[in-house]
Chain A
Amino acid sequence: MHTGPEPPRAAALAPAPLRPVVLRAAADAVPVVAAYVPFALTLGAAMAGSGVPPLVAWTSSPLLFGGAAQLVAVQLLGGGANVVLIVLSALVVNSRMLLYSASLAQHATGWSRRSRWAGAYLLADPVYALALGRFTKPDGGGDARLRLAYYLGAGLTLWTAWMAITGAGVLLAGVLPAGLSLDLAAPLTFLLLVLPMLTSRPAWAAAATGGAVAVAASGLPLGLGLLVGAGAGIAAGALVGRRRG
């Protein structure tokens, strides 16, 4: 299914080396890391200023490995929101991972059980985007072994960078100049995550409704605006999707 164009003779002699694939994955991850630097720094600074002990707030990086949910969780924790509401909000934010999980599973059929459980930990937005970009190429990213090497290479590169840069943000909080408008980095990053998802009218309806309702509901108690907006957006997407059949 995922056989490449190389002659079968080469495949029979020796398995393709993993090293070039891992290096390729790391190289593909570099521009993504660069794009995430401002957001990761701001997130770290937000952790340091949230009122939650900075080290505790930073553990959200290894525990959640997902900036949007981390930002929501740390802000709500610092604001003293209801604990159930915090967990619920962060999990709703991260429930898009279910979609990534289902989508990536189709490309992971040849991976060992252990690899799939381990790989799940790394399944964040940019890792998914890089992996899918590779696996949906005509050669499918090579055989299962090569695909796993690429996935882990990209995932671990982004994971390491994320730990380091959010940590740097915690340490640099207060030193980062306010004039850099770095607090815009978070919403701009989310915007750039949304744009590639807007491939259909229902997706547009979900994003437009979700955003507009969240703005209108931002006066609600801490955290509720996000949940109401997200719920309205999902409903709008489903409604438009159904009407179109």
Chain B
Amino acid sequence: MGELLVLAAIGVGTYLMRAAFLATAGARPPAAVARLLQYVGPAVLAAIALPALVAPHGRIALEATVPALLAALVAGVVWRFTRSLPLALFGGLVVAWGVTWLLT
């Protein structure tokens, strides 16, 4: 029950942030806030992604870290040349499978 309340609180907060400027079309964030906001996406997403790639399951281990980093590299390269989300993602996963298979 408490867990549902926590999720509901996050849901309300998230909805209000999504509605903040859209609902009042025309309103703009203050310049200082807008400057910071543009860095939130890269900072937050990298802060979630990188630890999970460098230390899958919470610790750095050769047989988990190497496939993860190679998968990330391949996904990045495929995206760079194709701009295709599915190709890049599945390319990365396939590399992870292959390298994991080789290492174990």
User: A residues near B, CB below 8 A?
Assistant: 31-32, 34-35, 38, 52-53, 56-57, 59-60, 63-66, 68-69, 71-73, 77, 83, 86-87, 90-102, 104-105, 108-109, 111, 113, 116-117, 119-121, 123, 179-195, 197-198, 202-204, 206-215, 218, 225-226, 229-234, 236-238, 241
With a CB–CB cut-off of 8 A, which chain B residues contact A64? 7, 10-11, 14
- A38, A65, A123, A207: the one within 8 Å of B46 (CB): A207
What are 18 residue pairs bridging A and B, where the CB atoms are less than 8 Å apart in the complex? A34-B86, A52-B3, A68-B48, A73-B10, A91-B10, A92-B44, A97-B14, A101-B21, A117-B19, A117-B23, A181-B93, A181-B96, A183-B52, A193-B45, A210-B43, A211-B46, A225-B47, A237-B43
With a CB–CB cut-off of 8 A, which chain A residues contact B27? 105
Question: When the two chains form their complex, are residues A191 and B22 in contact, meaning their CB atoms are under 8 A apart?
Answer: no
With a CB–CB cut-off of 8 A, which chain A residues contact B56? 183-184
B85 within 8 A of partner (CB):
yes
With a CB–CB cut-off of 8 A, which chain A residues contact B53? 184, 187-188, 191
> Which has the most chain A C-beta neighbours within 10 Å: B26, B40, B96?
B40
Question: When the two chains form their complex, are residues A66 and B14 in contact, meaning their CB atoms are under 8 A apart?
Answer: yes
Bound: A206/B100 CA distance, A:
31
Question: When the two chains form their complex, are residues A99 and B37 in contact, meaning their CB atoms are under 8 A apart?
Answer: yes
Q: Which residues of B from 59 to 104 have beta carbons under 8 Å from A?
A: 67-68, 71-72, 75-76, 79-80, 84-86, 88-90, 92-93, 96-97, 100
With a CB–CB cut-off of 8 A, which chain B residues contact A113? 23
Question: When the two chains form their complex, are residues A214 and B45 in contact, meaning their CB atoms are under 8 A apart?
Answer: no
Given contact pairs A98-B20, A207-B43, A190 touches B48 in the complex (Cβ within 8 A): yes
Question: When the two chains form their complex, are residues B6 and A83 in contact, meaning their CB atoms are under 8 A apart?
Answer: yes
- A101, A191, A203, A204: the one within 8 Å of B75 (CB): A191
Question: When the two chains form their complex, are residues B14 and A102 in contact, meaning their CB atoms are under 8 A apart?
Answer: no
A62 to chain B minimum Cβ distance, whole angstroms, is 8
Bound: A216/B67 CA distance, A:
20
Bound: A212/B55 CA distance, A:
12
- A35, A63, A120: the one within 8 Å of B22 (CB): A120
Select from chain A the residue with minimum beta-carbon distance to B60: A215
- A189, A206, A238, A241: the one within 8 Å of B89 (CB): A189
Question: When the two chains form their complex, are residues A229 and B47 in contact, meaning their CB atoms are under 8 A apart?
Answer: yes
Bound: A134/B89 CA distance, A:
23
Question: When the two chains form their complex, are residues B49 and A211 in contact, meaning their CB atoms are under 8 A apart?
Answer: yes
Bound: A241/B32 CA distance, A:
12
- A95, A120, A207, A214: the one within 8 Å of B42 (CB): A207
Question: When the two chains form their complex, are residues B37 and A192 in contact, meaning their CB atoms are under 8 A apart?
Answer: no
